[in-house]
A and B are shown apart, each in its own frame.
Chain A
Amino acid sequence: MIDYMPLTFLAAGEKGQVVDIKGGRGIVQRLYEIGFVPSTVVEVLVSHNPGPILVNVKGARIAIGRGMAAKIMVRRL
């Protein structure tokens, strides 16, 4: 059973643990730098579809486009 889902599936207020990032090298690298590293716990603060989502990653508030967020796989906590 697959127990992870794209970050975009989390609603505002929900937390998830990063499992993996699907995507090209450039995107993976960029997301790593801003803290989306496997096992990191992230919290979705604002999410209105369509539109970017706001995530608490390692204590910073990161606004991230929905397309990019869909590449971040998380396990809902």
Chain B
Amino acid sequence: MTTVALIGNPNVGKTELFNRFTGLKQHVGNWPGVTVEKKVGKCVCKGKEFEIIDLPGTYSLTANAIDELIARNFIVEGKPDVVVDIIDATNLERNLYLTLLLLELEANVVIALNMWDIARNGGIEIDVKKLEELLGTSVIPTVATTGEGIEKLKDEIINSIKKERRKIKFGYGKEIENKIKKVKEIIKKDDELAKKYPVRWLAIKILEGDEEILKKLDGSKYKNEIIEAAKNDEDFESVLAEKRYDIISRIVEEVVTKKGKEEWTFSDMLDHVFLHRVLGIPIFLALLYAVFQFTFSFSAPFSDMIDLFFGWLGEIAKQNISNSMLASFVSDGVLAGVGSVLVFVPPIFAMFFALALLENSGYLARAAFVMDRLMYKLGLHGKSFIPMMIGFGCNIPGIMAARSIENEKDRIITIMINPLMSCSARLPVYALIAGVIFGSGYMAGAAIFSMYLLGIALAIMMALIFRKLLFKGKPSPFVLELPRYMFPKMKTAMLHMWERGKWFLIKAGTFIFAVVIIIWFLSNFPWNATNGGTSIENSYIAYFGHAIEPVFKPFGWNWQASIALFFGFLAKEAVVGTFGALLGSTQGGIMEALKNAHWFTPLTGFAYMAFVLIYFPCVATIGVMLREMKARYTLITVTYTITLAFIVASIIELIGHLLGFS
């Protein structure tokens, strides 16, 4: 099959183009580094099947950042048939840097000149023919957001496979060229190397002292000779970067005619407000508050509807199924358990929607800017802030977003504290317990908000500790490209919400469903001993619950609450599912039932909420952590979260008792 790789700087609309090609709807974001995963899709056009690979957004192809290395290795070793380089037509000067590197790599490049409409409207005229001539590649103007030029791009991809590309060498001046030539000659002696890599590129990389590439020389008998020939006192990387920009500025001069004013003015005006010295942080906090307000108030009626619906369905099942075991299974097990989790789908979706608006408008990158000062004091930097924000939605994309942080130490700290961000799976637990102990008024909202703040405070504390103990030194410098502000598109935000939120639906339908069935079984059997589930004290689950109860007894949590924590290891919303299954379906829903059961006092309930926040990253999060960092750090994360949960819950109860709460 023909493989086509998509590459480009951050914020050029690469993800949108990928969607255009594959139709595979996926997350479209707006801050640099959002497509850190290797995404693969299929596309059939003109009867041919293509495999489309979405490479990470990068400025360059050095070995300095993982993103760049992933992209480079794929092009060098994966040898895609075509590399589509997506460049921002409004900013050729910056974007052509990567293009030159790709041409140097002798990849079969087709250029998508994206954001063509913005350039056109902004009075930027580009001589496409001339650009094609100067670069020796095809250049197709496109508008990924509307689909303009996509068909033509597809045609050109097919054409480019067949035709031999006209190779254009970008000379770096006599002196440098002589050195390149010298190294090239020796590389050519080693057939294997010469066959595997483009020789000129290899020579340049060796001259630049690229460590990854030097490693590839191991095993070649000409290694020493090559290194000897490449010896130089100059800072080759810098010299070459300068030369490349020279070449680019000459190209730009020839092909671009600017008319009218720059298209950034409006965006810059907004930045004067959003990045204001004094107003920046209050604006950020106000927006954050708005996100929470939206999450809870907008979704409340929908949640109530789902709650009523499942309650009603449970009643019907109970009345109409004659077999008592089956009736109990359907109504108390499946409907009560799954229903209690589904109730929280509306706030979860609302939260993802609000986060998507922030992200797609370009504000999230500004939040990183505003928070950098504070983050630096905590031994992190502004870029760590974006993974933390996304972690509020779900820790898994949060942890993956940390990939755009180049420095390994900074990245690991960012990942390790991410489970302390209250993800939306924890929201159901907070909402349920807070509702039970504080009613529906102002106090419940404050209690929920305090959990988010507690998570942030603990994350800060742990970041400082990790920086002191595990990763000494200062955070690496902060560099982040701020995208243009855009009016968020409803459709994009909805898609984004659906993509991230659907996992909760899938989880509710599979994982939580399975957990609920297990809990129903454990709480209703032995059937005779429990008298058909009515005396749960005689069930298996009571037996297990009582076994682990002593651990949690000091906190005032009964065996039901303890066993719920056990199932919460799998996924935090399973805590609610467990309560649902244990309490069975009742009129008025799970909250009424839990209130009437009197399992929690305000103090023990509040401590329980904190415990659920901290005690363990869910199984899926641990899986991602293992993939993103060394197992050692994942182990440290699991250990510290469990320890911290016990400490914090104890402190809450201690202080609470001293203040006279019970």
Point out residues on A near B: beta carbons under 8 Å.
21, 25-30, 32-35, 37-38, 40, 45-46, 48, 50-52, 54, 56-65, 67-68
Contact = CB atoms under 8 A, between A and B. Distances in A.
A59 B382 CA distance: 22
Contacts of A30: 64, 406, 477, 479
A34 B275 contact: no
Interface string B247-271: 0000000000000001010011001
Interface stretch (B154-162, B234-242, B289-297): B234-242
A52 to B, nearest CB: 5
Interface stretch (B366-374, B393-401, B603-611): B366-374
B633 interface: no
B481 A62 contact: yes
Contacts of B409: none
B238 A28 contact: yes
Contacts, number: 112
B244 to A, nearest CB: 9
Contacts of B365: 63
B478 A60 contact: no
Nearest to A29: B237
A20 to B, nearest CB: 10
A77 B277 CA distance: 25
A54 B275 CA distance: 9
Interface stretch (B70-78, B89-97, B560-568): B89-97
A32 B238 contact: yes
A35 B9 CA distance: 13
Contacts of A29: 62, 64, 237-238, 241
A40 B382 CA distance: 26
A26 B62 CA distance: 10
Given A48-B277, A54-B275, A32 B241 contact: yes
Contacts of A40: 245
A33 B62 contact: yes
B482 A26 contact: no
Given A37-B241, A38-B242, A61-B271, A67 B477 contact: yes
B89 to A, nearest CB: 11
A26 to B, nearest CB: 6
Contacts of A38: 242
Interface in B347-401: 365, 368-369, 372-373, 376, 381-382
Contacts of A63: 365, 368-369, 372, 382, 478-482
Interface in B58-81: 59-60, 62, 64
A7 B619 CA distance: 47
A37 B60 CA distance: 14
A4 B245 CA distance: 22
A61 B241 CA distance: 20
Contacts of A60: 91, 94, 481
A74 to B, nearest CB: 16
B245 A37 contact: yes
B373 A51 contact: yes
B272 interface: yes
Interface residues of B, number: 40
Given A29-B237, A33-B97, A50-B373, A61 B477 contact: no
B479 A61 contact: no
Nearest to B374: A51
Given A29-B241, A45-B268, A63-B369, 13 more contacts: A28-B237, A32-B237, A33-B60, A46-B271, A51-B373, A54-B271, A58-B94, A61-B481, A63-B478, A64-B477, A65-B381, A65-B382, A65-B477
A46 to B, nearest CB: 5
Contacts of A32: 237-238, 241-242, 245
A69 to B, nearest CB: 9
Contacts of A26: 64
A29 B97 CA distance: 13
B382 A52 contact: yes
A33 B9 CA distance: 11
Nearest to B407: A26
For A26, A35, A51, A63, which residue has the most chain B Cβ atoms within 10 angstroms? A63
Contacts of A51: 277, 372-373
Nearest to A56: B264
A27 B477 contact: yes
A25 B237 contact: yes
Contacts of B381: 65
Contacts of A54: 271, 275, 369, 482
A52 B369 contact: yes
Interface in B269-318: 271-272, 275, 277
A45 B275 CA distance: 10
A21 B235 CA distance: 12
A22 to B, nearest CB: 12
A7 B382 CA distance: 20
Given A37-B242, A63-B368, A28 B235 contact: yes
For A45, A48, A51, which residue has the most chain B Cβ atoms within 10 angstroms? A51
